[in-house]
Amino acid sequence: MKAIICKKYGPPENLEIVECNAPEPKDDEVLIKIYAASVTNSDIFIRSSKVPLSLFIPFRLMMGITKPRNEILGEVFSGITEKVGTEIKRFKVGDQVFGLTGMYLGAYADYKCMKEKDSKKGGLAIKPNNISFEEATSAAYGGLLALQFLEKGNIQRNQKVLIYGASSTTGTIAVQFAKHLGAEVTGVCSAKHIDFVKSLGADNVIDYTKPNSINELEIYDVILDAVGKAKSSDLKKACKKSLTKNGKYLSIDDEALLLDSNRLSRIKELVEQNVIKPINDKCYSFDQIIEAHKYVELGHKKGNVAITVNSLN
């Protein structure tokens, strides 16, 4: 099978397409033919190994000393099950699925074996039937993060919710989900994304790059930082003081992403009911992986970026 490996931590050029043996599923595994994979900030983080000095040793011990222990990168995928082990109950051959591999990676390849039970090795569910494989990677990644953190917000109808980083993979889904729950939603993004964030349903949009944008802040019941601790602005710092007495400030980096197949199945339903429309900024071909990594590394993608690994025809 073809796969994209990271030969050594460093720039996108360290990624290489190679031929290697396809994995064989064990009794408790399914073999998935991958049709699309996401290129996320986490992939960039792992490939580049650009971590704060204090995390350098723990990161290398966990992920691998000079290159990722699993050199095939990619954490988010969608595809079709091609073989199922004898103990598999939830899936049959030919199911269209989507999911995440956790830190075991391996989605940038023709094939990947997954367990059907949730674990640190991933979560897997039936893919929404009304979107492409590429869109399904956006739904899996942004959807899991958005729902995990917004559920902690316990949003009630007519509450004011602010989504910081509303144009990100998670932000685009968080805006739509918060609207679905009946909130009045304010999205924060840069000027070029204002119309886009409004089109997702946001009632108000604040441009974090505009001088004095802090004056546009109101008082919110729930604030979700959907871009993580590495991305900030004066507006983001000011947000933390713009909460009601019992308001909740949630950051996407507060806790590890849960690889939860029940939540994935809930996302499937929300997508099929047209409550959530997963957004892809760009889709690259498999051999454009270096360009895809360079684009995501710029830090301004609109929603998700996917690579097409295989095509149905």
Whose Cβ is closer to ligand NAP: residue 263's or residue 302's? Answer: 302
Our CB check for ligand NAP shows the closer of 219 and 230 to be 230
By the rule CB under 6 A, 26 interacts with ligand NAP: no
Shortest distance, CB of residue 280 to ligand NAP, whole angstroms?
Answer: 11
Number of residue whose CB is nearest ligand NAP: 228
Comparing CB distances to ligand NAP, the nearer of 9 and 141 is 141
- Report the SS3 class of residue 131: coil
194 in contact with ligand NAP (CB under 6 A):
no
Helix/strand/coil (H/E/C) assignment for every residue in 135-147:
HHHHHHHHHHHHH
Contact flag: residue 159 with ligand NAP (CB under 6 A): no
What whole-number distance in Å separates Cα of residue 79 and Cα of residue 248?
A: 37
> Residues 3, 100, 252, 264: which binds ligand NAP (CB under 6 A)?
252
Nearer to ligand NAP, 54 or 313 (CB): 54
Buried residues in 205-221 as b, exposed as e (16+ CB within 10 A): bbbbeeeebbeebeebb
Give the shortest CB-257-to-ligand NAP separation in angstroms.
3
Report if residue 42 touches ligand NAP, rule: CB under 6 A.
Answer: yes
For the bound state, the minimum distance from the C-beta of residue 259 to ligand NAP, rounded and expressed in Å, comes to 10
Contact between 301 and ligand NAP per CB under 6 A = yes
Helices (H) and strands (E) in the chain — how many of each?
8, 14
Q: Which one of 38-46, 82-90, 198-206, 267-275 is the stretch in contact with ligand NAP (CB under 6 A)? A: 38-46
Rg of the chain on CA atoms, in Å: 19
Under rule CB under 6 A, residue 287 binds ligand NAP: no
Asked if residues 220 and 243 have their Cβ atoms less than 8 Å apart, the reply is yes
Write out the two tokens for 89: 């109950």
Examine residue 257 and tell whether it contacts ligand NAP (CB under 6 A). yes
Give the other-Cβ count within 10 Å of 55's Cβ.
11
Q: Which stretch binds ligand NAP (CB under 6 A): 9-17, 102-110, 121-129, 299-307?
A: 299-307
Nearest approach, Cβ of 302 to ligand NAP (angstroms)? 6
Q: How far apart are CA 162 and CA 222, in angstroms?
A: 6
Contact 225, 251 (CB under 8 A): yes
Nearest approach, Cβ of 18 to ligand NAP (angstroms)?
Answer: 25
Residue spans of beta strands (DSSP E) within the chain: 2-6, 15-19, 29-38, 76-84, 96-100, 111-115, 123-126, 160-164, 184-189, 204-207, 220-225, 243-251, 280-285, 304-308
Judged by CB under 6 A, the residue of 91, 111, 177, 208 near ligand NAP is 208
Amino acid code (one letter) for 41: N
Report the residue from 14, 70, 190, 308 that binds ligand NAP according to the rule CB under 6 A: 190
Q: Which stretch binds ligand NAP (CB under 6 A): 173-181, 216-224, 229-237, 269-277?
A: 229-237
Residue 91 φ then ψ, to 5°? -130, 155
Q: To 10 degrees, what angle do helices 261-272 and 133-153 make?
A: 110
Stretch that binds ligand NAP, among 13-21, 27-35, 58-66, 228-236 (CB under 6 A): 228-236
Residue 300 touches ligand NAP, criterion: CB under 6 A: yes
- Among 309, 311, 289, 302, CA closest to 12: 289
Query: Would you tell me which residues interact with ligand NAP (CB under 6 A)?
Result: 40-42, 165, 167-170, 189-190, 193, 208, 227-228, 230-233, 252-253, 256-257, 299-302
